[in-house]
Amino acid sequence: MVLKCQSMSIHTHTASYSRSVIVLAAGKGTRMKSDLPKVMHHAAGRPMVEAVVDAARSVGCTPVVLVIGHGADLVRAHFAGRANTEFVMQMPQLGTGHAVDMARPLFEKGLLGEETLVLCGDGPLIRPHTLQVLLDTHRNTGASATLATAVIADPQGYGRIQRDSNGNFARIVEQKDASPEQLAICEINPSYYCFRTADLFDALKRVTNQNASGEYYITDVFELLLRDGKRVSVVDAVPAEDVLSVNTLEQLAEVSRILESRSSTSTGARA
């Protein structure tokens, strides 16, 4: 069963839930042409991954689990001494599903919350408000998994959202696996996810690497949960500006510009 949230104005509430976050931060970022791990490149004066972690903490996520790999020591050193921070290593790197599954030992020890956000460390434009709406939609609809989507003019590089004949979410198709018809879809996956933690790790056991990349995709979890008869909810009103992730130095410059513009606007509003 799929439940769809048409707007990001959903009412929030203050009920206490145990929630954690897994931040994917293991990538090298070859196109960045730098020895730094991708997530440690600075956007508007601080590492991209720090902005993601701070957004998750602002909505009450603890612990923060950082999946590290390339440049692991640099990421560890940056977050050293921060409370409720865990590190798990992903080497070799076999896909986003494999990355999340590196946190399984923490789940089995009972160290994760009842619900878990999964975010990418190279997406510093994520807003706390967006995460709060994602969490509230997840709870209010009783979902097993909830994802955000956005409609953008140029979907190149993003997974596409495939819907059924009734307009309901059906699956995420990664670009390398997409048909020409699917590539024409402009509703994309910005990689903002919330899961019922137990359902997440159960589904990950069944994810395969039978795809064009030969990788284990976290995005396959949603289709598996639907097949199980579980609810998948969608927040489909994320602003296009907020979903730009960083794979090149040009994108890093654009993200920095957006963040600096936000900061200037916020400062001006307080003046």
Q: How far apart are CA 110 and CA 116, in angstroms?
A: 13
Q: Which of 31, 82, 206, 257 is catalytic?
A: 31
The tokens describing 253, both together, are: 């410059």
- What strands, in cross-sheet order, belong to the sheet with 159-163? 150-151, 187-189, 159-163, 169-173
Is residue 31 annotated as part of the catalytic site, yes or no? yes
The DSSP letter of residue 177 is G
Determine contact, residues 10/137, Cβ cutoff 8 Å.
Answer: yes
User: CB neighbours of 266 closer than 8 A, spacing ≥ 6?
Assistant: none
Residue type, 39: V
The tokens describing 32, both together, are: 């960045």
Determine contact, residues 66/79, Cβ cutoff 8 Å.
Answer: yes
Catalytic annotation, residues: 31
